Amino acid sequence: MIFSIDNLIESIAAQLKTEYPALPVYDSYTLQGCKFPCFFVFLTPSNIYDQIDAYDKRELNFDVVYVQERNAPNAYGTLYTVADTLDELLETVTYTDGEESIPLHTHERNYSIDDQELHYKFRIIARVSRPVSPILMQTLEEDNVRIKKD
């Protein structure tokens, strides 16, 4: 399985579509040409840590933003309902690379409402292998090899 950020964002978008099939999901923030209500999926600053052997631990932080028309009737009630739905829906994210699928658990899930927009934030912690090229010994360093003379 090949792990990539693009596939992860697509997997999150596909998971959102299971509950909200009629709503568009965007991966870049632009309000021009958007159809409301809609979702935006953003990767926020994240961390990568070296692990043993050829592995990395990636702590990937996401912000799923739900945007609706300004001053919509019962706007805050809708935002709280969507937050509750996202809390169940995004407990795990089914990651797929097009061939294989695995569930990834989300961590530190929380939401906030700012300027009539719902920000649902979570972290995905993934341990991924990185490609390693073998170090082949092709030549000896002859500078440090000497014959001891008595």
Kindly write down the DSSP assignment for every residue of 116-149, as one continuous string.
TEEEEEEEEEEEEE---------S--GGG-----
Domains of the chain: 5-132 (3.30.2000.10)
Per-residue CA distances from 97 to 5, 17, 94, 131 (Å): 10, 17, 10, 17
- Which residues sit opposite 58 in a β-bridge? 48, 126
Q: What pLDDT is recorded for position 124?
A: 97
For residue 53, the 8-state DSSP code is T
d(CA 25, CA 12): 10
pTM for the model: 0.83
d(CA 128, CA 60): 12
Q: How confident is the model at residue 135 (pLDDT cuts 50, 70, 90)?
A: low
d(CA 111, CA 32): 25
pLDDT above 70 (res 147): no
d(CA 67, CA 28): 13
Q: What pLDDT is recorded for position 138?
A: 53
- Which one has a higher pLDDT value, 5 or 136? 5
What does the pLDDT look like over 34-72, one tens digit per residue? 899 999 999 999 999 998 888 999 999 999 999 999 888
- pLDDT-above-90 percentage for the chain: 67
